Amino acid sequence: MAQAKIVIEQIKKEAENTARKVKETILAQGKLDIERLTNSGKSSIEKAEVQIKKQIQQHITNLALKRVTSQLQDFMTPSVQSKLIDSNISQLGGQI
């Protein structure tokens, strides 16, 4: 009977040790998984930020071009265009 109790205690201690090791392994793996997911999430967010910044810059550029084009069309009357052409022709005349 005493021998059986000793064997039972040994089995119980081994089971507890095994359970503790399994728990530690699971926790360590969980920490690694959390770290990997966090890094992956950060990377995805950074990529999205870069893409959004590029889109905003492109939109601003397009708006600026539209504004400049509109202003140029308002400024470039037939009279101004004629003066500009005449000026350029007279500049070229001196070089030819």
What does the alpha-carbon distance between residue 32 and residue 11 come to, in Å, rounded to a whole number? 31
> Is residue 95 one of the residues assigned to a domain?
no
Reply yes or no on whether the pLDDT at 94 is more than 70: no
Residue with tokens 């966090």: 38
The domain total for the chain is: 1
Higher-pLDDT residue of 53, 89 = 53
> Is residue 73 one of the residues assigned to a domain?
yes
Quick one: CA dihedral 5, 11, 13, 16, positive or negative? negative
Residue with tokens 């022709």: 89
Q: Which two tokens stand for residue 23?
A: 């728990």
Q: Which two tokens stand for residue 4?
A: 């059986």
> Is residue 23 one of the residues assigned to a domain?
yes
> Is residue 40 one of the residues assigned to a domain?
yes
Over the stretch 10-67, which tens digit does the pLDDT of each residue have?
999 999 999 999 999 999 999 999 999 999 999 999 999 999 999 999 999 999 999 9
Domain extent for 64 = 2-90
> Is residue 13 one of the residues assigned to a domain?
yes
> Is residue 96 one of the residues assigned to a domain?
no
